[in-house]
Amino acid sequence: MLTLLRVILYGIGIPTVILAIFIALSTSNKELALPHWELTSTDIQRAKKILHANQHASGNIVSLDLSERDLNIACAYLLNIYTDSQSQIQLQHDNISFTLRFSLPDNIFGRYLDIQFQLRTPNYQPPEIINLQIGKITIPDIYAGFLIDTAIKYTRLNQYLQLIRKNLKVFSIQAQQLHIEYHAPVSTSNSLQQLLTPKIDNRALTQYQEKLDKALREHDPDWRLSLSNVLQPLFELAQQRSTAENAIAENRLAIFIANRYVNYYPGSTAHRQNNKSVPKYSVFLYKRIDMAQHFMWSATFSALGNSHLANILGIEKELKDARKGSGFSFIDLGADRAGMNFGKQATASPEQAMKIQEKMARVEHYRAFMPDIRDLPEGLSSQAFTEQYQSIYSSRYQSILEELDRRIADCEIYR
C-alpha cells in the first residue's frame, strides 16, 4: 500500500515539477528593447487593408507586397486585438525573424512570455519555422512548426491563418519586401471580420440579455433611458455571477451587452430581438445619444485589452469629422476617454473588477462614471481646429486632454 502511494505521489509530483521548471524557464522579468508601435491612423488603415485584403477579392487572387514596416504594424494591430503584447519583425534575404513578448497575469514566475523564431522561405516550398526559442528554452526545428501550430490551434487566430495557409500560392522575399499571393475563396470572404473578433460565451450572453430585457420592460417610457439604467442591472448580474476567477470575464459580458444595445439600436439586424414585447429606446448621457454611443464603443474596446487602439480610433474619427462631417468634438472625445477608463478599470484585475461591480450594481446616476463635459468645444472644422490647436500634439490640445482626464478621475466610480 505504501509503495502504491509513493507511485501515485511520484506520478503526480514529477509532471508538476517538470511543468513548473518549464514555466520558469519560458517566462522572464527581464526588460527587452522592443519597439512600442505607436500606430497612427494611417498605420491602422494600412493594417486593416492588409488583414482584410480578401474581403473585396472574393474568388480572385490577392497579391500583397509588404515592407518590414507593413509587417510590423499589421502584427502589432492584430496581436493587440487579443492580448497585451510587443512585437518586432525583421526581413532578411531568405527568412523573416519574429520576436514576440506577451504580458502575463501576476504570477510567481515572470511577467513576460518571450517567443523568438524565424520563418524560412525556401524556393517553391511552403514557409517553415526554424530557430524557435521560448524564453530560455530552444526547440529543435523538427518540432518547432508542430509546437507553433498546436499553440495557435486553440485561438481565434487559427481560423484566420488557416484561411491564408490553405490558399497560399506565393510566399517569397524580393527586394526587401515580402511578396504574398493567395486565393480568396468566395465562401470565406464575408466571415473574416468574425475571425478577427474575440470569442464570447453565447450561453452567458443570453442571461445578460434577459436581464437587460427585464429592465427595459420595467422602464417608464415617459423618461429618457440613461446609460446608468442600462449598465446598473447588467453589473448587478455580473456581481451575482462572479468569483475572483471569472469577475473580469463577467464584466466584459456586461459591457458587451450594453454596447450591443446602445450602438445597434435602432434598425440594425445585429440587434433584432425575437421577443417583440421588449421596448426599444435610445440611450442618453446628458440628454445626448452620441455621448452614450462613444462611451460604450470605447468601453468595449478597452475591456478587450485594446485601450491604445480605442484611443487612436477615437481621435481618427474626430479628425475625419473635422475634414468632412459634423466637426471635431472634444465632447465625443471625452466620452471616448471616459469609456476607455471605464472598460480598463472594469477588467484591470479580479479585485478591481469586483470593486467596479459593487459600485455599478447600486449606481443611481451616470454622473458617477461620466463627467459633464458639455462646455468643451465641438463642431470644429479642420481649418478651425488647426487655427486653434495646431495639431493633436500641441500643448493647447494636450491641456484639454488633461482637463478631460482630471474630470473623469474625479467621478465616484473611478475613485
- Residue 5 pLDDT class (50, 70, 90 cuts): very low
Domain match, 50 and 172 both: yes
Is residue 281 one of the residues assigned to a domain?
A: yes
Q: Which residues constitute the domain of residue 161? A: 30-195
Q: What is the pLDDT of residue 337?
A: 93
Is residue 161 one of the residues assigned to a domain?
A: yes
Is residue 1 one of the residues assigned to a domain?
A: no
For the segment 364-385, the average pLDDT, to the nearest whole number, is 91
Domain match, 76 and 223 both: no
In sequence order, what are the residues at sequence separation of 6 or more whose Cβ sits closer than 8 angstroms to the Cβ of residue 358? 239
For the chain, give the mean pLDDT: 79
Take residue 21 and report the three cell numbers written for it.
Answer: 521548471
C-alpha 329/C-alpha 381 separation (Å) is: 10
Take residue 213 and report the three cell numbers written for it.
Answer: 430585457
Q: Based on the number of CB atoms within 10 Å of its own CB, is 181 exposed (0-12), middle (13-18) or buried (19 or more)?
A: middle
Is residue 105 one of the residues assigned to a domain?
A: yes
Highest mean pLDDT among 78-87, 89-98, 101-110, 396-405: 396-405
State pLDDT tens for residues 161-175: 666 667 777 888 888
- Residue 214 pLDDT class (50, 70, 90 cuts): very high
Domain match, 159 and 135 both: yes
Q: Does the pLDDT value for residue 305 go beyond 80?
A: no
Q: Does the pLDDT value for residue 135 go beyond 60?
A: yes
In the listed set 195, 213, 244, which residue is the last one of a domain according to the structure?
A: 195
Domain match, 51 and 154 both: yes
Tell which residue, 352, 371, 353, 354, has the closest CA to residue 412.
Answer: 371
- Residue 258 pLDDT class (50, 70, 90 cuts): very high
State how far Cα 158 lies from the chain centre.
Answer: 17
- Residue 412 pLDDT class (50, 70, 90 cuts): very high
Over pLDDT 70: what percentage of the chain? 77
C-alpha 258/C-alpha 225 separation (Å) is: 12
Q: Based on the number of CB atoms within 10 Å of its own CB, is 54 exposed (0-12), middle (13-18) or buried (19 or more)?
A: buried
Least trusted range by pLDDT, from 28-42, 194-208, 263-277: 263-277
Domain match, 64 and 149 both: yes
Q: What is the pLDDT of residue 373?
A: 92
Take residue 178 and report the three cell numbers written for it.
Answer: 515580402
51 compared with 196, residue with greater pLDDT: 51
Amino acid (one-letter) located at 93: H
For the segment 60-68, the average pLDDT, to the nearest whole number, is 85
In the listed set 195, 214, 231, which residue is the last one of a domain according to the structure?
A: 195
**In whole angstroms, how large is the CA radius of gyration of the chain?**
24
Highest mean pLDDT among 103-117, 205-219, 266-280: 205-219
State pLDDT tens for residues 185-198: 655 444 444 444 44
Number of compact structural domains in the chain: 2
139 touches 54 (CB < 8 A): no
Locate cell 473578433: which residue? 197
Counted residue by residue, the chain has a size of 415
In the listed set 170, 195, 220, which residue is the last one of a domain according to the structure?
A: 195
Count of helix runs (H) and strand runs (E) in the chain: 15, 11
Phi/psi for 377 (5° steps) reads -65, 150
C-alpha 280/C-alpha 87 separation (Å) is: 44
Domain match, 139 and 286 both: no
DSSP state of 140: P
Q: Based on the number of CB atoms within 10 Å of its own CB, is 212 exposed (0-12), middle (13-18) or buried (19 or more)?
A: buried
283 compared with 268, residue with greater pLDDT: 283
For the segment 78-85, the average pLDDT, to the nearest whole number, is 66
C-alpha 282/C-alpha 138 separation (Å) is: 56
Domain match, 128 and 218 both: no
- Residue 124 pLDDT class (50, 70, 90 cuts): low
Q: Does the pLDDT value for residue 341 go beyond 90?
A: yes
* Helix, strand, coil percentages in the chain from 3-state DSSP, rounded to 5: 55, 15, 30
Q: Does the pLDDT value for residue 176 go beyond 70?
A: yes
Phi/psi for 121 (5° steps) reads -120, 75
Q: Does the pLDDT value for residue 406 go beyond 60?
A: yes
Domain match, 104 and 171 both: yes
Is residue 394 one of the residues assigned to a domain?
A: yes
Is residue 25 one of the residues assigned to a domain?
A: no
